[in-house]
Amino acid sequence: MNWQDTALVLAGIIGSVVAVIHGVLVQRYMVRPVGTFLQAEKRVAASTGRLVPLLLHFSTVSWFAGGLALIAAAGWFGSEARLSTSLLVGGLYLYGALGNLWGTRGRHPGWMLYTVALALIAFSAVR
């Protein structure tokens, strides 16, 4: 395993760990309160109550799967598949980093961690 592969694995680990922490916090501070509100509010359809948690966790699942894909790319993918995976996951992480930076005005550690993951992805793509 060379330095580029190690960088890609580290980017995948960072992305997956941040995704898990994000999922726990979203569940605690967004899904539960919104679910309680939707149950109390009788004007909201039951399908909406089932759909909202899934939508709130969409980024969590995407970031976690992206991290696993980066780890797999480092070990088993060819050069074109590594590049494609890096670009796809890098786009997901860039969106998360910019969203966290803009939405929290820089007071959220998520944008910093995804920026580190992006730098590692960029380093791994240079051969």
User: Which residues touch 10 (CB under 8 Å, ≥6 apart)?
Assistant: 117, 120
Structure confidence at residue 127 (pLDDT): 66
Q: Three-state DSSP class for 9? A: helix
Token representation of residue 113:
């961690």
Structure confidence at residue 68 (pLDDT): 96
pTM for the whole structure: 0.85
User: Which residues touch 111 (CB under 8 Å, ≥6 apart)?
Assistant: 96, 97, 98, 99, 100, 101, 104
Structure confidence at residue 71 (pLDDT): 95
Structure confidence at residue 36 (pLDDT): 75
pLDDT per residue over 61-94, tens digit each? Answer: 999 999 999 999 998 988 888 899 999 999 999 9
* DSSP class of 27: I
Residues in the chain with pLDDT values less than 50:
none
